[in-house]
Every structure is written in structure tokens, then in C-alpha cells.
Amino acid sequence: MKKTMRLAFLSMLLAAAGSATAQTGGYSGPSNKAPTASYSGQSNLPLMSARDLLANGKDDQLVKLRGKLLSHKGDEDYEFADQSGKITVEIDAKHFPAGVTVDQNTLVELTGEFDKELVGESTLEVKQLRVVGK
């Protein structure tokens, strides 16, 4: 009998936990709470140029670029340029700093993983975007 009651109790707990996580919605408006923290101090990653990355970068290499986002190409794709050239970068919306407008005049530092393609366009998958100036 105790075993049956324990199983019934566990089943109730699991059902309650499942319905709590299955709920949708929630607050999606503005907030004065700071976004989740991320490290923004010094890094051992050397600053690279777009030209050097495209010419000598290795697949899955972690890199840092400094330049400007010239245009939004669609979805998560942006055209990035520094003094050496241009590269397509993929930036998830969550990587843009909250409350900061980034445009073609904003100097940004991108840290990410290089996706080197043998055929087609190589890109940088951005893991962190930091505004460094206007």
C-alpha cells in the first residue's frame, strides 16, 4: 500500500512540474533590471582583420574583430566591415546590448566562431557584441 501511495504522490509531483513548465507567455515588456551579465574585460583573443580571417582563419576558430555593421542582410546576417575588408556575420538578437542602438556608424567589437566554408561564403557566428564607440 505504501508503495502505491508513493507512486501516486510521485506521479502527482511530475504532473504538476510538467504543467508548470508547459505554461506559455510571461512578461515581455521593458524592464529596468540589468540584462544577464557577461564578461567584458580583457581577452587573450588577438584582434584580427576581416581580410586576415578570410584568408588564414581556421574552421571553428575563436576570433575578435573590430569594425562596423554596414547593413542587415536578412534574418541573423549582417555585413561587417573593418579597414581591411568585409565579412558576413551571424548575430542572434540576444547578443545586441539592451537599450543601445547599433547602426552603420557604431564601432563594435565582435567575438565569435569562424565558420570556414570550402565552397560558398565563410561567416563569423557572433557570440558577443560589444559597442566600443560611435
Residue reference for cell 510538467: 18
Q: For residues 80 and 16, what is the distance between their CA atoms, to the nearest angstrom? A: 48
Q: Which residue(s) pair with 112 in the sheet?
A: 63, 126
CATH number for the domain running over 47-133: 2.40.50.200
pLDDT of residue 103: 95
The Cα 30–Cα 43 span in angstroms is: 31
Going from N- to C-terminal start, the domains of the chain cover 47-133
**Are the CB atoms for 65 and 82 separated by under 8 Å?**
yes
Averages of pLDDT over each 10 residues, the chain, 134 residues: 55 50 39 47 82 97 98 96 98 94 96 96 97 90
**pLDDT for the residue numbered 44:** 81
pTM of the entire predicted model: 0.69
